[in-house]
Chain A
Amino acid sequence: MPDEGTGGTPLRAILTRVAARIGRRAGPPDLPYPNRPGEKLTISHSSIVENAVDATARATPVSVARRVRGLSDRAIAWLFIAPAIILLLAINIFPLIWAIYLSFTNYRANRPNAPVQGVGFGNYQRVLNDPDIWQAMQTTAHFVFWTILLQTVIGFSLAYLIDRKFRGHAFWTTIILIPMMLSPAVVGNFWRFLYEPQIGLFAYAVSLVSGIPTSDIQMLGNVTLAPWAIIIVDTWMWTPYVMLICLAGLRSIPDYIYEAAEVDRASPWRQFWSITVPMALPFIMLAVLFRGIENFKMFDMVTLLTGGGPGSVTEVASITLKRAAFESWATGRASAFAIILFVAVFGLANIYVKALNRVKQR
């Protein structure tokens, strides 16, 4: 056994004391602690941690302590993480497995008395052959692509400007962050009013610049404009988030690299492309990953803005999924769709994380 007083972990120290206590069990129970056989282990060390360890050991009932003594370190480690694992299994893994099972059945959650029958890959086949679902996937892809592109470009530009550390930059950072602090439900609702052709500020502003009458600026009712309307709102709301991550990236670049570049007479342009961008790239990629995953499951804001309309041009995949699962109650088919979405996101994210790691290792 290593010297617990110096090199052992607190866990080990606790166990040692517990063990010592068990060893001493035959002795008179009311003996003051320093006189017990365990004393030699702690007598020369009285740091706060040690005291806490002692207190824990003392507080452990003998019966528990005896049981613990027989366990290996590994078993004890498992014992400690078990509650977390059980929770994870109960609320994450089990529902996932259950959903996989349901995706192969005709189960409908609103018909508890109907017999559940296996349908093989029928649900998957139907989902993958459904033109509406492919339309929803295209809509989602369009939304994810453009929001990420715009947010990254604008977010990085803002971060770059904020990083210049001008007077009042902290104040402006706070101002820029405000949209991110709002709830998507609130954002969806008030942008609906902003887009309103007759009273909306957005239509008014566009009309002021372009001269088009406000009644013709129907952002949410026009098939061409509606997908862009939701992209604008998401970009407005989440660009600050991307900016924040990019800012962290820019701040992490040590000044001496730029100083060395100056000595080498590298132009600001060259510095930007050869130092700033490559060194901030892992951060940018992380922001893209977060936004990608988030927007893939976009639901609340779009529901409030357009309800998926006009027609189905803004019906992103999660709205289709929700309608299948909780309005049509086609639980089996919705599960199949959810699994397909999960595999797609999981697969893409995995490939992306591998790329991210490679960039980081450069």
Chain B
Amino acid sequence: MQKTSKALLGLAAALVMSSALPNLAKAEELTLCWAAWDPANALVELSKDFTAKTGTQMKFEFVPWTSYADRFLNELNSHGKLCDLIIGDSQWIGGSAENGHYVKLNDFFDKEGIKMDDFVPATVVGYSEWPKNTPNYWALPAMGDVVGWTYRKDWFEKPELQKEFKAKYGRDLAAPKTYDELKQIAEFFQKREIDGKTVYGASIYTERGSEGITMGVTNVLYDWGFQYENPKKPYDMEGFVNSADAVKGLEFYKSLYDCCTPPGSSNVYMVESADAFKSGQVAMQMNFAFTWPGLYKDEKVGGDRIGFFPNPAEKAHFAQLGGQGISVVSYSDKRDAALQYIKWFAQPDVQAKWWELGGFSCLNSVVNAPDFAKSQPYAQAFLDSMAIVKDFWAEPSYASLLQAMQKRVHNYVVAGNGTAKEALDGLVKDWSDVFKDDGKI
């Protein structure tokens, strides 16, 4: 009898434990979704502090960039519960806010004393606000990112090359200040023999499938005077998207592609561009700032051999904004725990450690700290770049707008079909169709 009751007791205990344990684990585990890249590894490292402090386990779902948007927008659209927290791309903010995928954070920020004024203004507009320039916050700026350039400092400093360059162009071979200078340097290096190897001028974004060529060409277009719309009349694009200046900018990007990229550069985005630089093929490389810490650490091209500079100027001076904010997914069952993570992440000491580990903090107290510019060799270029950012459309229909631009620009720059004017005229037509469908014009 005693045996039986013991066995029953044991069985009951086991049952209680087996039913209680998963609940316990469930309540204390958050899943964070992001892209699979270097900063994500830094975030895993950083989040260990959060787990140590709160006991909440962190699980991560990282997806490669090429399928990042597909994967997570599908997840959000299907109201999936996979992600409690998501670091979604800046362009998703419109759709995610309007379709209710993200939790609105205004009340939470007010309650916890998190002030958006404490963050770099461009990142607040870019990553958190929808509609833009209104105090409606859907994310906390998490990872500042911007397009900039790296160059081979060791090649630039070679005396014989400096001499030759000066004789040819009448100025020193140094990081370019304007795009015309950049092109001259690229031409100077194109197909040059350096250390017994043929090298090329510059690696620029030309990828067709997702967003690559758009993230590259916009840097140049902005500087030449391209504008998304009439500043006085929203969605009025004729003469702004396809202005004479914008056409010249697009022609410049094509000329840079034709003259100065390595062979086989027809489908280059972040990874390919970094690879071209790492393998010692190119003198300069366009890429998002997140690649800089990794490249600086690279044994072959890092350290003293690498230099960083922000986008050159032309008529105007802009850089394409990348980066993301962190949001709470409204379909998550663990909203409170997720909000606690954001509260923890917003703290100045956590943000400072985030920058140390290789993340790009958007907190003013971090980036405006007196020693920030000297804290890393790329810190100054990052600061300068973040001061001039501009982003692509963040409308709910951004994906259609992006597709149209990918198609039109690639068709002109890489495939060489038609003229720059035709490409941008076509873009105005495509974008107008999208906004007509949305009932905005």
| Partner pick for B263 among A109, A197, A309, CB 8 A cutoff | A197
Stretch in contact with the other chain, from B115-123, B159-167, B377-385, B409-417: B409-417
Measured as residues with beta carbon below 8 angstroms from the partner, the interface class of chain A is: 20 to 34
Indicate whether A313 reaches chain B with its CB closer than 8 angstroms: yes
**Does B99 contact A111, Cβ atoms closer than 8 Å?**
yes
Confirm or deny: B207 has a beta carbon within 8 angstroms of a beta carbon on chain A: yes
Give the residue name and chain of the A residue nearest to B73 (CB): A110
Would you call B148 an interface residue if the criterion is a C-beta within 8 Å of the partner chain's C-beta atoms?
no
Complex CA gap A360/B301 in Å reads 66
Q: Which chain A residues lie closer than 8 Å to B397 at the CB level?
A: 328
Q: Is B267 within 8 A of A312, CB to CB?
A: no
- Could you tell me if A216 and B263 are in contact, using CB atoms closer than 8 angstroms? yes
Instruction: Give the most central of A110, A111, A220, A223: most B CB within 10 Å.
Output: A110
**What is the CA–CA distance of A22 and B100 in the complex, to the nearest angstrom?**
61
Residue B349 at the chain A interface, CB threshold 8 Å:
no
- A328-B399, A328-B403 in contact; A223/B209 too (CB < 8 A)? no
Chain A contacts of B263 at CB under 8 A?
Answer: 197-198, 214-216, 218
**Could you tell me the distance between the alpha carbons of A313 and B77 in the complex, rounded to whole angstroms?**
31
Q: Which of chain A's residues have a CB closer than 8 A to the CB of B400?
A: 327-328, 330
Taking a contact as CB atoms closer than 8 A, the residue among A109, A200, A218, A330 that contacts B77 in the complex is: A109
Within 8 Å of chain B (Cβ to Cβ): is A140? no
CB nearest to A215 among chain B residues = B263
Which residues of chain B have C-beta atoms less than 8 A from A323's C-beta?
403
Enumerate B56-84 residues with CB–CB distance to A below 8 Å: 69-70, 73-74, 77
Task: List residues of B (168-221) whose CB comes within 8 Å of A's CBs.
Answer: 207-210
Q: Which residues of B contact A200 (CB under 8 A)?
A: 264
**B100 contacts which chain A residues (CB < 8 A)?**
113
Taken together as a complex, chains A and B put the C-alpha atoms of A151 and B406 apart, in Å, by 33
Contact partners of B307 in chain A: CB under 8 A = none
Q: Closest CB of chain A to B29's CB: distance in Å?
A: 28
Mark B140-172 against chain A: 1 for CB-CB distance below 8 A, else 0: 000000000000000000000000000000000
Interface SS, B side: loop
Report the Cα distance A64→B410, complex, angstroms.
Answer: 67
A327-B399, A328-B399, A330-B400 known; A310 vs B99 contact (CB < 8 Å)? no
In the complex, whether B239 has a CB less than 8 A from a CB of chain A is no
Q: Which chain B positions have C-beta within 8 A of A197? A: 263-264
Interface flags for B356-397 (1: CB within 8 Å of A; 0: not) read: 000000000000000000000000000000000000000011
B109 to chain A minimum Cβ distance, whole angstroms, is 25
Judge whether A329 and B208 touch: CB under 8 Å: no
Query: Would A111 and B208 be within 8 Å (CB), given that A306-B267, A309-B267 are in contact?
Result: no
Q: Which residues of A contact B210 (CB under 8 A)?
A: 307
**A216 proximity list for chain B (CB < 8 A):** 263
B95: Cβ under 8 A from any A Cβ? yes
Chain B residue numbers with a CB within 8 Å of A234 are none
Within 8 A of A (CB), among B88-103: 95, 98-100
Within 8 A of B (CB), among A308-362: 308-313, 323, 326-330
A29 at the interface (CB under 8 A from B): no
A54 at the interface (CB under 8 A from B): no
Nearest residue, chain B, Cβ from A305: B267
Quick check: B209 and A307 within 8 Å, CB to CB?
A: yes
The answer to whether B415 and A218 touch across the interface, beta carbons within 8 angstroms, is no
Question: CA A329 – CA B207 in complex, angstroms?
Answer: 21
**A112 on interface, CB distance cutoff 8 Å:** yes
Residues of B within 8 A of A113 (CB): 99-100
* Beta-carbon nearest neighbor of B209 in chain A: A307
Judge whether B106 is part of the interface by a CB distance below 8 angstroms.
no
Residues of B within 8 A of A215 (CB): 263
Q: Given the interface contacts A196-B264, A221-B414, does A307 sit within 8 Å of B403 by beta carbon?
A: no
**A303 CB–B CB distance under 8 Å:** yes
Residues of A contacting B262 with CB < 8 Å?
A: 198
A132 touches B (CB below 8 Å): yes
Q: Does B266 contact A (CB under 8 A)?
A: yes
B265 near A: Cβ within 8 Å? yes
Q: Which residue of B lies closest to A114 (CB)?
A: B99
A310 near B414: Cβ-Cβ < 8 Å: yes
Name B95's contact: one of A110, A132, A196, A326 (CB within 8 Å). Answer: A110
Contacts of A198 in B (CB 8 A): 262-264, 281
- B407 at the A/B interface (Cβ < 8 Å)? yes
> How far, in angstroms, from A216 to B262 measured CA to CA in the complex?
11
In the bound complex, do residue B399 and residue A221 qualify as a contact, i.e. CB atoms below 8 Å apart?
A: no
Q: Which of A26-65 contact B (CB under 8 A)?
A: none
Q: Give, as a whole number of angstroms, the nearest-CB distance from B184 to chain A.
A: 22
Residues of chain B within 8 A (CB-CB) of A328 are 397, 399-400, 403
**In the complex where A198-B263, A221-B267 touch, is A309 in contact with B208 (Cβ < 8 A)?**
yes
A110 to B: closest C-beta gap in Å: 5
Among B74, B403, B415, B417: residue with most chain A CB under 10 A: B415
Chain A residues in 8 Å Cβ range of B73: 110
CB distance from A308 to the nearest CB of B (A): 6
Task: Check B70–A326 contact: CB distance below 8 A.
Answer: yes
Q: A110-B95, A311-B417, A329-B77 are in contact. Are A221 and B264 (CB under 8 A)?
A: yes
Across the A-B interface, the 10 shortest Cβ-Cβ residue pairs:
A307-B209, A221-B266, A311-B415, A309-B208, A311-B411, A215-B263, A197-B263, A310-B415, A328-B400, A197-B264
Given contacts A109-B77, A197-B264, 4 further A-B contacts (CB under 8 A): A200-B264, A221-B265, A309-B410, A326-B74
Which residues of B line the A interface, CB within 8 A?
A: 69-70, 73-74, 77, 95, 98-100, 207-210, 262-267, 281, 396-397, 399-400, 403, 407, 410-412, 414-417, 437
On A, residues with C-beta under 8 Å from B are 109-113, 132, 195-198, 200, 214-216, 218, 220-221, 223, 303, 306-313, 323, 326-330
A sample of 27 cross-chain residue pairs with beta-carbon separation below 8 angstroms, ordered by A number, consists of: A110-B95, A110-B396, A112-B99, A196-B264, A197-B263, A218-B263, A220-B264, A220-B267, A221-B264, A221-B267, A223-B417, A307-B207, A307-B209, A309-B410, A310-B208, A310-B410, A310-B414, A311-B412, A311-B417, A312-B410, A326-B70, A327-B69, A328-B399, A329-B77, A329-B399, A330-B400, A330-B437
